[in-house]
């Protein structure tokens, strides 16, 4: 029989198995997997070189349909997420903080849940994380078409698509790497004319 870790041992820096597993899952979810997004740029700086964002209709919890392509003049972030993904939860919290700072300056994030249970738990998710930006759902097939991925391709979450004021994709990122990087990218796009 293995002895249990004592409180002094845990306090001395040894991480418990649950904490280690939580960190490992978050690290795996946050690892950038840019190769999964072959058609989207990884941070196109020349606005003329950026591809136009494909159309995407998001059915929000408020009963409206938000057309991503009709948000000209705003910097839009499409956050493809799952309500059960630990990295998606971190992303939602970080995106909310950025929205609180930059929403009044033209930043519009849109969370799009693609998991099967999203319809039943998305309102709860929005309340728990105090999300004040649009939150809605799309089918997996709609998101794969939007991301221009083949039907059999695994869908990695979170996937973030950053769209400039002209409706062009500035960057696509798979995984959550933190709000500092995203905030800087949004601020740069907000500064473009």
Give residue limits of the domains in the chain.
Answer: 33-191
Architecture of domain 33-191: 3-Layer(aba) Sandwich (3.40)
Residue 184, pLDDT > 50, answer: yes
What 3-state class would DSSP assign to 57? strand
Query: What pLDDT was estimated at residue 182?
Result: 97
Average pLDDT over the chain reads: 83
Q: For 108-144, write each residue's pLDDT tens digit.
A: 999 999 999 998 999 999 999 999 999 999 999 999 9
Q: Are strands 135-137 and 159-163 parallel, antiparallel or unpaired?
A: unpaired
Among candidate residues 56, 52, 64, the one with its CA nearest the CA of residue 112 = 56
Q: Which residues contact 106 (CB under 8 A, 6 or more apart)?
A: 73, 74, 75, 165, 190
Q: For 50-89, write each residue's pLDDT tens digit.
A: 999 999 999 999 999 999 999 999 999 999 999 999 999 9
Query: What pLDDT was estimated at residue 19?
Result: 53
Q: Are strands 107-113 and 75-81 parallel, antiparallel or unpaired?
A: parallel
Question: Which stretches of 75-158 are DSSP H helices?
Answer: 86-102, 118-128, 140-146
Cα–Cα distance list, 138 to 14, 82, 118, 122, 165 (Å): 42, 11, 10, 12, 23
């Amino acid at each position: 029989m293995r002895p249990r870790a004592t409180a002094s041992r845990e306090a001395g820096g040894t991480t418990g198995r649950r904490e280690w597993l939580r960190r490992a899952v978050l690290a795996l979810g946050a690892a950038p997997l840019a190769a999964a997004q072959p058609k989207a740029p990884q941070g196109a700086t020349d606005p003329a070189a950026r591809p136009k964002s494909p159309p995407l209709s998001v059915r929000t919890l408020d009963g409206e349909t938000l057309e991503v392509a009709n948000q000209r003049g705003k910097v839009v972030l499409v956050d493809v997420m799952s309500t059960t993904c630990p990295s998606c939860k971190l992303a939602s919290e970080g995106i909310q903080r950025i929205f609180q700072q930059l929403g009044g300056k033209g930043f519009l994030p849109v969370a799009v849940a693609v998991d099967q249970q999203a319809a039943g738990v998305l309102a709860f998710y929005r309340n728990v994380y105090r999300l004040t930006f649009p939150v809605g759902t799309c089918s997996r097939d709609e998101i794969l078409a939007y991301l221009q991925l083949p039907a059999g391709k695994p869908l990695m979450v979170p996937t973030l698509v950053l769209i400039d004021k002209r409706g062009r994709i500035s960057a696509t990122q798979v995984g959550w790497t933190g709000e500092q990087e995203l905030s800087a990218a949004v601020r740069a796009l907000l500064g473009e004319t």
